[in-house]
Amino acid sequence: MTYRYVGIIVGPSVYKGIKLGKTYYENLIFYEKIGKSLNIVPCYFQLKDINPGMQNIKAYLKQSDNSYKLTTIPKPQIIHNRIFTNNIEEKNKIKLLQNEGILIFNEDNRYTKLAIHKILIKNPDLLPFVPETVKASKGNLRYMMKKYNELIIKPNSSSLGVNILKLKRIKNENWELKYHNRNLLIKEHFSNKWPVMLEDALTAHQNIIQKRIELSLYKGSPFDLRVSVQKNGSGEWQVTGIVCKVAKKGKFITNVAQGGSCFPLEEILRELPHLDILQVYKDIELLSLSVAQQIEGEVSNIADLGLDIGITNEGVPMFIECNGRDLRVTFRKANLLKEWEATHSTPIKFANFLLEKFKHNFKQIDDGH
């Protein structure tokens, strides 16, 4: 029998959990369900398990009794990466595998917010939807404070909602600095002399300063969206799902890791009757697809993005940030189970598209079963 394997690179905690049926944010059943209908066998392994120059790998495969068994199989020719690939060695290994003809998608998934900003503002159509963003420095803060009334200062990468400061002009040169310290909301007022926390944020870390988008409110708390944008079975970008993240009472950040809660967008928009629901959806979709296409122009092999998009009071979508590896759990938390499943099945459909497109380049794998 001929098998069509699609590899899924997972991290150590997911890998360890496979045998125990505890794979955290990855729902392997969704990969397998779509795999069955496309004659694709998903196989799971870690990056350290696959090596250039080797014919075979050991990967977990689902068995007919629903257990998972480490099995030696020919190296899959299409791989969906689900880990952050950070270091040079990992990146080099991926390059070598690609040189062997293996297609790895979402390989490069940890980009800085500033790098993405620079890519997006090259497209004049996107400019109105991308808040100005600069590297944190004293000079840049002075510049941004002259120009805007509200600012966000945050890490250039991977903050998970931690170490984010908000600045708001109260009047003229009077400002309010807000930040969360665990569950405490700290407020400091200042005019000429910047608070120590602010000074530190400009010097100690790799931070950025961004114009704050006046996020629309739901029951008094700001909310934004997680938009899953993925390549589909026709090789095109699609919006697989949209979910709302509402900040915990009193907070200005919506991250689930910081107590934010998730709801279907429809539910939130019902509370905002001044907005035209269809138009809001259309605008979010248009912005998300344009953002993905623009990033694709400069980052190769991307196929699975999780965008954070804010909505203003007038219903205009605004880009906040792009996550290169969406954990997808926001959909589960909002009980959007169809969308949650689709975030897993769409990459397999895309893998199928690649298998078909490049089938003449790939060896047929016959396991002799």
Ligand X SMILES: Nc1ncnc2c1ncn2[C@@H]1O[C@H](COP(=O)(O)OP(=O)(O)OP(=O)(O)O)[C@@H](O)[C@H]1O
SS3 content of the chain, % helix, strand, coil (to 5): 30, 30, 40
Residue 93, CA distances (Å) to 47, 85, 104, 344 in order: 9, 10, 11, 25
174-181 vs 133-135, strand pairing mode: unpaired
Residue 71 binds which of ligand X, Mg ion, none (CB < 5-8 A, kind-dependent): none
Is residue 185 involved in binding ligand X (CB under 6 A)? Answer: no
* Closest approach of ligand X to the CB of residue 263, in Å: 14
Task: Give the whole-angstrom CA distance, residue 72 versus residue 232.
Answer: 29
Residues near ligand X (CB under 6 A), total: 22
Per-position x/- string for 127-146, each x denoting binding to ligand X as judged by CB under 6 A, each - no binding: ----x---------------
Is residue 213 involved in binding ligand X (CB under 6 A)? Answer: yes
Helix (H, G, I), strand (E, B) or coil at 349: helix
Residue 353, CA distances (Å) to 29, 40, 339 in order: 20, 11, 20
Is residue 317 involved in binding ligand X (CB under 6 A)? Answer: no
Is residue 154 involved in binding ligand X (CB under 6 A)? Answer: yes
* Closest approach of ligand X to the CB of residue 283, in Å: 17
Is residue 207 involved in binding ligand X (CB under 6 A)? Answer: no
Is residue 200 involved in binding ligand X (CB under 6 A)? Answer: no
Q: Could you give the angle at which helices 28-38 and 337-357 cross, rounded to 10 degrees?
A: 40
* Closest approach of ligand X to the CB of residue 245, in Å: 6
Is residue 215 involved in binding ligand X (CB under 6 A)? Answer: yes
Residue 152 binds which of Mg ion, ligand X, none (CB < 5-8 A, kind-dependent): ligand X
Cβ count within 10 A of residue 200: 14
Helix (H, G, I), strand (E, B) or coil at 205: coil
State which of positions 232-271 bind ligand X (CB under 6 A): 253-255
Residue 160 binds which of ligand X, Mg ion, none (CB < 5-8 A, kind-dependent): ligand X
Task: Give the whole-angstrom CA distance, residue 188 versus residue 367.
Answer: 67
Closest CA to 246 of 255, 233, 235, 237: 255
Is residue 131 involved in binding Mg ion (CB under 5 A)? Answer: no
State which of positions 299-358 bind Mg ion (CB under 5 A): 308
Is residue 90 involved in binding Mg ion (CB under 5 A)? Answer: no
Is residue 188 involved in binding Mg ion (CB under 5 A)? Answer: no
Is 33 or 178 the residue whose CB approaches ligand X more closely? Answer: 178
* Closest approach of ligand X to the CB of residue 47, in Å: 21
Stretch (H or E) spanning 269: helix 265-269
State which of positions 249-308 bind Mg ion (CB under 5 A): 308
Report the interface residues with Mg ion, using CB under 5 A.
308
